[in-house]
């Protein structure tokens, strides 16, 4: 696509970030620090219309075909966790980023950055899992890369996957499409992935039966799009949780989002862990859930379509889009009053007080 | 200050001279030190703060408070909405 | 979850709010000392349920927030050493020192870890005998028995690589200081239920008597807090100044004797500086001399590090209820949870951070009022 000359007033400089001059873990948390990094460094550096949409995938029109293109890196500890591993996660994460654009995922790349000394058997298990997940999702891994770094320079293994899919005609999903009156649909209980990982963290361990919800969501999305074309936007609430995803939509669409706390499904195990560690499930990561912003008249039919799919059996309408307080997410709490659901600066930390 | 969460003791053991218990919090289980609640037994609920039980939940008191609160709820229903709403 | 869900029922909250509105015939100003209770109030929007004249002031009860700047600097100094594994409760990592916070120490290569319990820190010391494991022992009376037990157990097991940087604070001296101020506005106190679970409420009876102020020991769920407000309003309307216990399911008058005993064996009372407030006599705990071998301040020679707090912050007035967070000229502008300038913006239990996180949408309305 042609490079349009940009108007003078949209010129921006990649200004250095304020505050310390060091990258912190929080910059990768999916919260405010991540958003700042993207806004202040990456967006100005690479400015173009496809990137400016700020969705989970870029939509590229080439010879009349609309391609969805995305990339994601996976750095999970432990490598194997209840409900999945870094291999299956690397497929699901990228397939889902494509699916959130309404695309049919087709091809993946897989790049492995391996720390010297990783047992070969571990690598084989991860690759087998990745292969299985790709086959289950109906995508092929068509290109790849391998690098090995010195012991101590990596955390066992990091995987990057990129993906390409095709967006069907008539589908145009984007985070700037939410309109007042739209309903917010959530495909199931939140926080499973984050809590399953946290349960394994040294120093915080607890016994639980929570498994990661890691799953490929494209067939769920296809079912939803089959039920109605009045879906404005889809997001999978990964890092930063439901809160970050909805704050991004509210910001990009210039609307308010109003949640109903009682309508949000949370598993008893996830609630228990959150109570114990002082965490809010709205900020905990998911890897197999989606949020849909749907026109009010289509909400019920999309909801039924979701519930017919195994990954959407617990789907619920959890709120609506409003013209009041634009760019802000609020929630009616279980006891009645309303509060703000802010984006966190960095990772949510267990608290003692 | 001081997040403490009620959980149910599901078993107990001695280790390094400390009385430990597995305590269940809505579907997850974590070990907690029971040295400060010698009276607490398996099946009891304890308030746990940073891995230490700091009290045994008094079931009778909890019941009493709740009954009182629920009776207020009924009463308020009969009385209708409050004179001034914020 | 039992003992949680039933105290979050909307019907109970509404009827308590209705009764408070009926009972209050004039404006009252109450303070919840405890940051956990502030968190509940903000998290559920409970202040929206209260009549307009009833004001809740959010007190200085967040141990993370009131840990003095110089203690954070000392922690950072210790955590930066290559032979140290520095272990902390999670929310302490974000607290800014003069130049850095523990997150940045970690980013620069420091071995900084988060645990849920001091016993997890002890386990790290057992597993890494070659490293000096230092635990950041902060907290109020609630946390003191746990931290005391960790030191006690370290000595019992001969874990000479385990030490603690202690910055414990005590609630009653802070209440006494607030009430002694000629500018005090607070007419009734919601006392911290988990602190009282450990130490009981005898000391609070002296406060109620000396300052003729009603005090209600309260739990942490929405219904607990609303009921305690109702109990305080009733006392104020009836001109009573007693200590009452709303949180009877956890708190006994004498507290937890075994826990108090452990605190007394390991810690002794000392003067302590509070971030944003200053030194309050007799408001801290430090390790007894016999545990000096586990005292990180002594072992690492960091006692001399001192720091001045930024003058812009009005936290002392906020924490005393003399000003609201939104009265501060830098609130939400130069001072945010990402770049806190003062104690109450540091942890989500801090008055300013709680306001910022949960209440911003109501700020314009309040400023008009």
**Cα distances (Å, whole numbers) of residue C55 to A262, A296, C28:** 28, 40, 6
The pLDDT, as a whole number, for residue C39 is 87
Average pLDDT, chain C: 90
Q: Are residues C221 and C358 in the same domain?
A: no
In A79-156 the beta strands, taken as DSSP E runs, fall at 80-81, 84-85, 104-115, 140-149
* Domain that residue C298 falls in: 1-309
Contacts of A271 in chain C (CB under 8 A): 1
B76–chain A Cβ distance below 8 A for any pair: no
pLDDT digits (tens, 9 = 90+) for A125-134: 999 999 999 9
In A199-279 the beta strands, taken as DSSP E runs, fall at 207-208, 231-235, 256-260
B22–A207 C-beta distance less than 8 A: yes
Q: Is C141 helix (H, G, I), strand (E, B) or coil?
A: coil
Q: What are phi and psi of A313, to 5 degrees?
A: -60, -30
Query: What are the residue ranges in chain A where pLDDT is below 50?
Result: 1-19
3-state secondary structure C306-364: CCCCCCCCCHHHHHCCCCCHHHCCCECCCECCCCCCCHHHCCCCCHHHHHHHHHHHHHH
Q: Indicate which of B20, B25, B32, B51 best probes the interface with A, i.e. most A CBs within 10 Å of its own CB.
A: B25
End-of-domain residue from the set C279, C309, C339: C309
Q: Are residues C277 and C350 in the same domain?
A: no
Of B3, B22, B26, the CB nearest to A351: B3
Domain ranges of chain A: 55-166, 183-340
Of C44, C120, C139, the CB nearest to A333: C44
Task: Let me know the angle formed at the C-alpha of C315 by A352 and A36, rounded to the nearest 5 degrees.
Answer: 70
Closest CA to C133 of B14, A203, A175: A203
DSSP strand pairing (C28-34 vs B45-49): unpaired
Of A22, A340, A351, the CB nearest to C90: A351
Task: Let me know the angle formed at the C-alpha of A28 by B50 and A38, rounded to the nearest 5 degrees.
Answer: 145
CA torsion, points B50, B54, B56, B61, in degrees to nearest 10? -110
Of B3, B18, B25, the CB nearest to C1: B25
Q: What are phi and psi of A22, to 5 degrees?
A: -135, 140
Residue of A nearest to B48 (CA): A276
Residue C322 vs residue B43, higher pLDDT:
B43
The pLDDT, as a whole number, for residue C75 is 97
pLDDT digits (tens, 9 = 90+) for A108-124: 999 999 999 999 999 99
Residue of C nearest to A342 (CA): C357
Whether C111 has a pLDDT exceeding 50, the answer reads yes
Q: Is the dihedral of CA C246, C248, C253, C254 positive or negative?
A: negative
Rounded-to-integer distance, Cα A285 and Cα A30, Å: 9
C10–chain A Cβ distance below 8 A for any pair: yes
Distance in Å, alpha carbon of C219 to nearest chain B alpha carbon: 10
pLDDT digits (tens, 9 = 90+) for C157-206: 999 999 999 999 999 999 998 899 888 989 999 999 999 999 999 999 99
Question: Is residue C329 classed exposed, middle or buried when 0-12, 13-18 and 19+ CB atoms within 10 A define those classes?
Answer: exposed
pLDDT digits (tens, 9 = 90+) for C310-337: 777 787 788 777 888 888 888 888 888 7
Rounded-to-integer distance, Cα A137 and Cα A12, Å: 40
Average pLDDT over residues C40-69: 89
The pLDDT, as a whole number, for residue B1 is 46
Distance in Å, alpha carbon of B6 to nearest chain A alpha carbon: 9
Residue C257 host element (H or E): helix C257-266
Distance in Å, alpha carbon of A58 to nearest chain B alpha carbon: 40
Q: Are residues C10 and C26 in the same domain?
A: yes
Residue of B nearest to A207 (CA): B29
Contacts of B54 in chain C (CB under 8 A): 142, 145, 194, 197-198, 250, 256, 259
- In the numeric block, which tokens belong to residue A15? 């200004």
Q: Indicate which of C8, C9, C10, C15 best probes the interface with B, i.e. most B CBs within 10 Å of its own CB.
A: C15
Cβ pairs bridging A and C (under 8 Å): 129
Q: What are phi and psi of B18, to 5 degrees?
A: -115, 140
B5–A352 C-beta distance less than 8 A: no
- In the numeric block, which tokens belong to residue A323? 């013209």
* Candidate CATH numbers 3.20.20.70, 3.40.50.720, 3.40.190.10, 3.90.650.10; the one for domain A183-340: 3.90.650.10
Contacts of B27 in chain A (CB under 8 A): 208-210, 267-272
A271–C49 C-beta distance less than 8 A: no
- In the numeric block, which tokens belong to residue A83? 């409900």
Q: Are residues C146 and C293 in the same domain?
A: yes
The pLDDT, as a whole number, for residue A7 is 32
Q: Are residues C280 and C338 in the same domain?
A: no
Cross-strand partners of C162:
C133
The pLDDT, as a whole number, for residue A48 is 93
- In the numeric block, which tokens belong to residue C319? 């924490």
Query: At a CB cut-off of 8 Å and minimum separation 6, what does B52 contact?
Result: B32, B33, B35, B36, C117, C145, C146, C149
The confidence band for B77, taking pLDDT boundaries of 50, 70 and 90, is low
Residues 23-62 of B with CB under 8 A from A: 24-30, 48-50
CB-hemisphere CA count at 13 Å for C206?
7
Q: Are residues C329 and C197 in the same domain?
A: no
Distance in Å, alpha carbon of B52 to nearest chain A alpha carbon: 12
Q: Which CATH architecture has domain B5-79?
A: Roll (2.30)
The confidence band for C360, taking pLDDT boundaries of 50, 70 and 90, is low
The pLDDT, as a whole number, for residue A20 is 55
Of C13, C64, C120, the CB nearest to A353: C64
pLDDT digits (tens, 9 = 90+) for C266-304: 999 999 998 878 899 999 999 999 999 999 999 999 999
Rounded-to-integer distance, Cα C298 and Cα C152, Å: 17
Residue of B nearest to C260 (CA): B36
The pLDDT, as a whole number, for residue C97 is 85
Is the separation of the CB atoms in A234 and A221 below 8 Å?
yes
Q: Is A286 helix (H, G, I), strand (E, B) or coil?
A: coil
The pLDDT, as a whole number, for residue A3 is 36
Q: Are residues C290 and C326 in the same domain?
A: no
Q: Are residues C279 and C199 in the same domain?
A: yes
pLDDT digits (tens, 9 = 90+) for C200-234: 999 999 999 999 999 999 999 999 999 999 999 99
- Beta-carbon count within 10 A of B26 CB: 22
Closest CA to A245 of A184, A312, A157: A184
CA diameter of chain C: 65
Q: Are residues C179 and C289 in the same domain?
A: yes
DSSP state at residue C213: -
Q: Is 3.30.1330.10 the CATH number for A55-166?
A: yes
Q: Indicate which of C49, C140, C348 best probes the interface with A, i.e. most A CBs within 10 Å of its own CB.
A: C348
Q: What is the CA radius of gyration of chain C?
A: 21
Q: How many domains does chain C have?
A: 2
Q: Are residues C304 and C322 in the same domain?
A: no
C250–chain B Cβ distance below 8 A for any pair: yes
The pLDDT, as a whole number, for residue A31 is 81
Residues 11-70 of C with CB under 8 A from A: 13-14, 34-36, 39, 42-46, 48-49, 61-64
Q: Is C274 helix (H, G, I), strand (E, B) or coil?
A: strand
B1–C145 C-beta distance less than 8 A: no
Residues 32-61 of B with CB under 8 A from C: 33, 35-38, 45, 47, 49-52, 54-55, 57-59, 61
Contacts of A192 in chain B (CB under 8 A): none
Q: Are residues C85 and C192 in the same domain?
A: yes
- In the numeric block, which tokens belong to residue C268? 């002794």
In A150-260 the beta strands, taken as DSSP E runs, fall at 157-166, 183-186, 207-208, 231-235, 256-260
B49–C194 C-beta distance less than 8 A: yes
The pLDDT, as a whole number, for residue C64 is 82
Cβ pairs bridging B and C (under 8 Å): 160
B30–A207 C-beta distance less than 8 A: yes
Distance in Å, alpha carbon of A351 to nearest chain C alpha carbon: 5
The pLDDT, as a whole number, for residue B79 is 52
């Amino acid at each position: 696509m042609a490079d349009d000359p940009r108007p003078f007033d949209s010129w921006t400089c990649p200004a250095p970030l304020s505050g310390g001059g060091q990258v912190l873990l929080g910059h990768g948390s999916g919260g405010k620090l991540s958003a700042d990094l993207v806004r202040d460094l990456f967006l100005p550096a690479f400015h173009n219309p496809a990137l400016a949409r700020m969705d989970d995938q870029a939509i590229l029109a080439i010879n009349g075909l609309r391609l969805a293109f995305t990339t994601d890196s996976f750095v999970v500890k432990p490598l194997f966790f209840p409900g999945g591993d870094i291999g299956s996660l690397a497929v699901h994460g990228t397939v889902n980023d494509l699916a959130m654009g309404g695309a049919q995922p087709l091809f993946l790349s897989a790049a492995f950055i391996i720390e010297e000394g990783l047992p070969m058997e571990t690598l084989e298990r991860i690759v087998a899992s990745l292969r299985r997940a790709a086959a289950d999702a109906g995508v092929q891994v068509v290109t790849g890369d391998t690098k090995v770094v010195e012991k101590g320079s990596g955390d066992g293994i990091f995987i990057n996957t990129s993906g390409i899919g095709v967006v069907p005609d008539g589908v145009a999903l984007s985070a700037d499409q939410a309109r007042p009156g739209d309903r917010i649909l959530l495909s199931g209980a939140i926080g499973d992935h984050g809590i399953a990982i946290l349960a394994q963290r040294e120093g915080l361990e607890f016994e639980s039966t929570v498994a990661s919800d890691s799953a490929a969501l494209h067939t769920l999305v296809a079912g939803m799009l089959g039920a109605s074309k009045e879906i404005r936007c889809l997001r999978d609430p990964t890092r930063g949780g439901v809160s970050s995803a909805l704050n991004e939509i509210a910001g990009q669409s210039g609307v308010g989002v109003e949640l109903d706390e009682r309508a949000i499904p949370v598993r008893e195990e996830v609630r228990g862990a959150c109570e114990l560690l002082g965490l809010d499930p709205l900020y905990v990561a998911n890897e197999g859930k989606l949020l849909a912003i749907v026109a009010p008249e289509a909400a019920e039919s999309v909801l039924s379509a979701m519930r017919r799919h195994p990954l959407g059996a617990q789907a619920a309408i959890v709120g609506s889009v409003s013209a009041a307080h634009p760019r802000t997410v609020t929630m009616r709490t279980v006891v009645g009053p309303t509060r703000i659901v802010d984006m966190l600066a960095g990772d949510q930390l267990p608290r003692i007080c | 200050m001081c997040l403490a969460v009620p959980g149910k003791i599901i078993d107990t053991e001695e280790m390094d001279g400390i009385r430990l218990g597995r305590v269940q919090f809505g579907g997850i289980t974590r070990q907690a030190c029971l040295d400060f609640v010698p009276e607490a037994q398996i099946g009891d609920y304890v308030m746990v703060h940073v891995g230490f039980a700091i009290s045994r939940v008094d079931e009778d008191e909890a019941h009493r408070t709740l009954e009182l609160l629920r009776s207020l709820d009924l009463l308020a229903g009969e009385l209708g909405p409050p004179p001034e709403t914020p | 979850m039992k003992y949680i869900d039933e105290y979050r029922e909307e019907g109970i909250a509404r009827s308590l709010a209705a009764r408070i509105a009926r009972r209050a015939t004039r404006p009252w100003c109450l303070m919840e000392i405890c940051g956990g209770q502030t968190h509940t109030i903000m998290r559920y929007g409970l202040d929206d349920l209260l009549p307009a004249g009833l004001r809740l002031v959010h007190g200085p009860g967040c141990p993370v927030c009131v840990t003095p700047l110089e203690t954070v600097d000392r922690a950072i100094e210790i955590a930066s050493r290559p032979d140290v594994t520095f272990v902390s409760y999670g929310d302490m990592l974000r607290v800014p020192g003069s130049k850095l916070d523990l997150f940045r120490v970690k980013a620069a290569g420091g071995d900084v870890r988060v645990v849920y319990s001091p016993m997890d820190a002890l386990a790290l010391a057992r597993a890494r005998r070659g490293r000096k494991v230092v635990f950041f022992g902060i907290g109020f009376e609630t946390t003191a028995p746990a931290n005391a037990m960790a030191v006690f157990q370290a000595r019992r097991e001969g874990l000479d690589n385990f030490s603690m940087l202690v910055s414990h604070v005590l609630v009653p001296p802070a209440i006494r200081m607030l009430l002694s101020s000629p500018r005090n506005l607070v007419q009734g106190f919601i006392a911290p239920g988990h602190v009282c679970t450990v130490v009981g409420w005898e000391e609070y009876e002296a406060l109620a008597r000396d300052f003729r102020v009603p005090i209600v020991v309260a739990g942490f769920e929405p219904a607990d807090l609303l009921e305690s407000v109702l109990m305080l309003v009733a006392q104020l309307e009836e001109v009573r100044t007693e200590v009452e216990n709303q949180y009877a399911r956890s708190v006994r008058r004498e507290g937890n004797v075994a826990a108090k005993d452990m605190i007394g064996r390991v810690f002794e009372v000392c003067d302590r500086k509070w971030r944003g407030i200053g030194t309050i006599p007799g408001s801290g705990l430090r390790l007894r001399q016999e545990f000096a071998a586990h005292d990180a301040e002594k072992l690492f020679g960091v006692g001399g590090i001192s720091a001045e707090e930024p003058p812009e912050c009005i936290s002392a007035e906020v924490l005393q209820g003399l000003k609201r967070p939104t009265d501060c000229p830098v609130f939400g502008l130069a001072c945010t949870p990402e770049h806190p300038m003062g104690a109450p913006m540091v942890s989500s239990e801090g008055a300013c951070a709680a306001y910022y996180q949960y209440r911003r949408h109501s700020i314009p309305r309040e400023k008009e009022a």
